[in-house]
Amino acid sequence: MSSRKIKNMEEFAAVSGISRPTLSKFFNDPTSVRSSTRKRVEAALDRYDYRPNLYAMNQNRRLTKNIGVVVPHLADPFFAKIARTIEEHILRQGFRPVLLGSHGSPEMELENLENLRMLKPAGVLLAAFGRSSDHAQIQTFTEDVPTVLFDANIEKVGKAFIGSNNEQSVDLIVDYLCRTGEPPAFFEMKDPMNPNAYKRRAAYVRAMERLGQTPHLIQVGGEGWEFEEIGFREGTRVIRDRSLPSKTILCSNDRLAIGLLSAIFEAGMSVGIEAGHDFRVAGHDDHPFSRFTCPRLTTVSQDYEAIAEKSATTLLALIEADDSLDSRTETLFDGKLVLRGSA
């Protein structure tokens, strides 16, 4: 046996090369892991001076009926609508939702997760920032608490991801815009926080090339979650500089499109599907406010209801299985074209 004293399961996982979730499964029930894995754990226990604190493990398993729901920004009606649907489903199943917003801050995202950890939740539904999230810290959290990600994916983190099929939805609206008028340029933030934005950028380029068109990316500056402000400010700039390569503009999300519509109006120009207008503008998401712009915004919808319900049912199944599902799953829902007056 090694003379080194191992203090906790994290340290034992590091020296043995066996993941912490696998070790937890073994110590809770040795028969729940493969025989080859069981032999590896037993060999590591013989080699290193470590014995798990079974009392602490049992305490940790005395979980509440709370389910954490963490979203990037509760003030965003998109996340508020999904969270509300998740909340209703969780309540029907006898659990208590604990809804937390991260106020556009990755640091607050981690603080929310740590606060939830102290509540010993049965599970957590997380709409992560994605690119700007602390992936290592979130990974550690999901190894301790059953977690399902929705809206924004972080590869290999959590037991499941549920979101939109950006490849399909962007291809759908690019095809429509090319069939009905001048091919679209793509208006986006150069360095977006959400990984969905990168997927949409790549999907736009592939769709344009598939249709034999030249992609045009209008990449603008801006940080944070104030998309309407960025769309208005940067839209004003590109209109003033006459740097728009097309009179058809597809925005990476509806909130940028709302800002761009305002910038076009302020410039004394018009948007619409009919001949004689200066621009056509389309978005993505079917944001709750998109039906109230002037003109009303053509977009492609995310299936809010399906994403929310699938996220909740997946987490509840994970809790029912005592966090013992072996493989991570991903579920993507197709978008639908929503035709309105802007394009």
CA dist 135 and 56 (Å) reads 27
Which of the pair, 44 or 285, is modelled with greater confidence?
Answer: 285
Q: What is the pLDDT of residues 230-268, one digit of tens each?
A: 999 999 999 999 888 999 999 999 999 999 999 999 999
Q: Given a cut of 90, is residue 289 above it in pLDDT?
A: yes
Distance between CA atoms of residues 294 and 261, nearest Å: 8
Arithmetic mean of pLDDT, 326-341: 92
Each residue's pLDDT tens digit, 184-196: 999 999 998 788 9
The number of angstroms, rounded, from the C-alpha of 48 to the middle of its chain's C-alpha atoms is: 40
pLDDT of residue 194: 80
User: What are the backbone dihedrals phi and psi of residue 326, each rounded to the nearest 5 degrees, phi first?
Assistant: -80, -40
Is the C-alpha dihedral spanning 13, 159, 332, 261 positive or negative?
Answer: negative
What average pLDDT does the structure give for the chain? 88
Tell me how far CA of residue 54 lies from CA of 1, 45, 113, 146, in angstroms: 21, 15, 24, 20
Q: For the residues 16-27, what does the mean pLDDT come to?
A: 80
Q: In the Cβ-directed half-sphere of 204, how many Cα atoms lie within 13 Å?
A: 26
Q: For residue 59, what pLDDT band results from cuts at 50, 70 and 90?
A: very low
Average confidence (pLDDT) over 53-60: 48
Q: What is the pLDDT of residue 1?
A: 53
Residue 312 gets the label, from left (phi > 0), alpha (psi -120 to 50) or beta, of alpha
pLDDT above 60 for 177: yes
On the question of pLDDT at 120 being above 60, the answer is yes
Reported confidence tier of residue 339, pLDDT bands at 50, 70, 90: very high
pLDDT score for 62: 52
The verdict on pTM exceeding 0.85 is no
Residue 56 has pLDDT above 50, yes or no: no
**pLDDT for residue 106:** 87
Q: What is the dihedral sign for C-alpha 239, 226, 125, 13?
A: positive
Range in 32-41, 56-65, 101-110, 327-336 with the lowest mean pLDDT = 56-65
58 pLDDT band, cuts 50/70/90, is: very low
Q: Residue 166: what pLDDT?
A: 96
Q: Residue 30: pLDDT above 80?
A: no
Comparing C-alpha atoms, which of 196, 191, 144 is closest to residue 307? Answer: 196
Residue 290 has pLDDT above 90, yes or no: yes
pLDDT value, residue 35:
85
Predicted confidence band of residue 326 (pLDDT cuts 50, 70, 90):
low
**What percentage of the chain reaches a pLDDT higher than 90?**
54
